[in-house]
Amino acid sequence: MTDMPIDPSVIESDNAERSTGFEADFAALGEQLERCGVAIDTIVKAVRDFTVAVPSWGVGTGGTRFARFPGPGEPRGIMEKLDDCAVIHQLGRSTPSVSLHIPWDRTDPAALKDKAQSLKLSFDAMNSNTFQDHPDDPKQPLSYKFGSLSHADEAVRRQAVEHNLDVIEFGQAIGSTAITVWIGDGSNFPGQVDLLRSFERYLESAKAIYGALPEDWRIFTEHKMYEPAFYSTIVQDWGTNLLIAQELGPKAYCLVDLGHHAPNVNIEQIVSRLIFARKLGGFHFNDSKYGDDDLDTGSIDPFRLFLVFNELIEAGEALERLDPAHMIDQSHNVTDPIESLIRSADEIRRAYAQALLVDRVALREYQDANDPMMASECLKQAFRTDVTSILAKARIMDGGAIDPIAAYRASGYRKKVAIERPEVKGGGGGIV
Ligand SMILES: [Mn+2]
């Protein structure tokens, strides 16, 4: 007996309809890759092994500063969020773990663990939250309006540190081994805070959290250029973030959120530098046109995503030692969040598969021969390869759907939960 939310017969019949076309595409791609000396099965195997965590906050509809437009059947709490995460994994087979956000997802950890087990899910990095106030939490009576870990008032800093320690304790109870700390601290006006002293205060607080990390845990810090502070942000770029990770010690790593950069910043180069410094902790995947738009991964600039993965593959063994965490961090404002997360996980695997196809021996030769045209073409050739049937093959082999969004729509899941879950007003949008 299974608690899986989608009836397997729905996946089977949808796959049956598509199997002839899929088999033809896969065979053709196999022949195409063979001519380049690539065995398609090795790429399929690598793709099957590549997983990414979904954010619990991503299965609810997000919002902007203007409004939030909730969709039907929104999950009303963490247990229903896990049901939705299980749908995404059952169909896509690439998202076996969930990243939780405390206090939004706080509940009895034993019940949470049981629920996850019944859905064949596990828990990825924990996320603390000191970027908003928690009036219902007796342990957090003080306001974070003017910051948390870098706040001028020592009592607020202590409260924020304690919250992070609580999150670690909660995470230990459900089998997590990492905490991601992103804070909104900063200033809106020149002169509002002392740039040096506030950073020193931040470091002191971060060291207190680091000191309480369990033996097998890692701490990820995430930089962000602006918002909610619009003049200065305490961890504003990867340079500051690297400083922090180096100050804290060997269990501290830098997280790269793809949306947290100025437009046109060379993110893949930042990734390369962090690999060099042995401080790349992982990613928050999303896409961005202007700022921290939190759009679906690969929906705006799939080439940039590919170039990030190209750096990861290029790093080889150095990357294996770092074992970076892969997490999605998005806000779904106008789509069904389940569909957006299915598509995003697929786009991440697509970029990974394409990066695996780069002829690295040839690329190095072109680079060393100062042949920019052929070096560029070498990357573009891999990027232009349509690996859709490889992604489908990986899903089929693990019991997923050839076309997971089509199977999801055929399942009627959203209609069903819309009846079971009456609309609730309000609720956290959750853009981190
Ligand atoms: Mn993020």
- The encoded tokens of residue 183 equal 């804070």
Q: How confident is the model at residue 3, as a pLDDT?
A: 78
| 99, containing H or E segment | strand 97-99
Determine the distance separating the centroid of ligand 1 and the alpha carbon of 250, expressed in angstroms. Answer: 22
Q: What is the mean pLDDT of residues 124-140?
A: 96
426: pLDDT strictly greater than 90: no
156: pLDDT strictly greater than 50: yes
Flag the least confident range among 56-60, 337-341, 411-415, 424-428. 424-428
Taking the CA atoms of residue 432, residue 354, residue 320 and residue 44 in that order, the dihedral angle to the nearest 10 degrees is: 110
Determine the distance separating the centroid of ligand 1 and the alpha carbon of 340, expressed in angstroms. Answer: 16
Residues 6+ apart with CB under 8 A from 73: 414, 415, 416, 417, 418, 419, 420, 421
Q: How confident is the model at residue 431, as a pLDDT?
A: 45
pTM greater than 0.75: yes
Which amino acid is located at 195 in the chain? L
Determine the distance separating the centroid of ligand 1 and the alpha carbon of 288, expressed in angstroms. Answer: 12
Cα–Cα distance for residue pair 84/341, rounded to 1 Å: 10
Q: How confident is the model at residue 2, as a pLDDT?
A: 60
Determine the distance separating the centroid of ligand 1 and the alpha carbon of 221, expressed in angstroms. Answer: 10
Which amino acid is located at 328 in the chain? I
133: pLDDT strictly greater than 70: yes
Determine the distance separating the centroid of ligand 1 and the alpha carbon of 61, expressed in angstroms. Answer: 16
Cα–Cα distance for residue pair 272/268, rounded to 1 Å: 6
Determine the distance separating the centroid of ligand 1 and the alpha carbon of 169, expressed in angstroms. Answer: 22
Residues 217-230: tens digit of each pLDDT = 999 999 999 999 99
Q: How confident is the model at residue 432, as a pLDDT?
A: 43
131: pLDDT strictly greater than 60: yes
Q: Which among 418, 328, 417 has a CA at the least distance from the CA of 56?
A: 328
| pLDDT category of residue 425 using cuts at 50, 70 and 90 | low
Q: How confident is the model at residue 423, as a pLDDT?
A: 80
Determine the distance separating the centroid of ligand 1 and the alpha carbon of 154, expressed in angstroms. Answer: 26
Phi, psi of 205 (to 5 degrees): -65, -45
Q: How confident is the model at residue 430, as a pLDDT?
A: 47
- Mean confidence (pLDDT) of the chain: 96
CB 101 within 8 A of CB 127: yes
Taking the CA atoms of residue 384, residue 385, residue 391 and residue 392 in that order, the dihedral angle to the nearest 10 degrees is: 110
pLDDT over 90, % of the chain: 96
Determine the distance separating the centroid of ligand 1 and the alpha carbon of 85, expressed in angstroms. Answer: 18
Determine the distance separating the centroid of ligand 1 and the alpha carbon of 223, expressed in angstroms. Answer: 9
Taking the CA atoms of residue 282, residue 287, residue 290 and residue 293 in that order, the dihedral angle to the nearest 10 degrees is: -90
Phi/psi class of residue 69: alpha, beta or left (left: φ > 0; alpha: ψ in -120 to 50)?
Answer: beta
Residues 180-228: tens digit of each pLDDT = 999 999 999 999 999 999 999 999 999 999 999 999 999 999 999 999 9
Determine the distance separating the centroid of ligand 1 and the alpha carbon of 22, expressed in angstroms. Answer: 35
Domain 8-420: CATH class, spelled out: alpha beta
Structural domain spans, the chain: 8-420
Edge-to-edge strands of the sheet including 218-222? 126-127, 178-181, 218-222, 252-257, 280-285, 325-328
Q: How confident is the model at residue 409, as a pLDDT?
A: 98
Cα–Cα distance for residue pair 385/51, rounded to 1 Å: 21
Residue tagged 């106008």 (tokens): 334
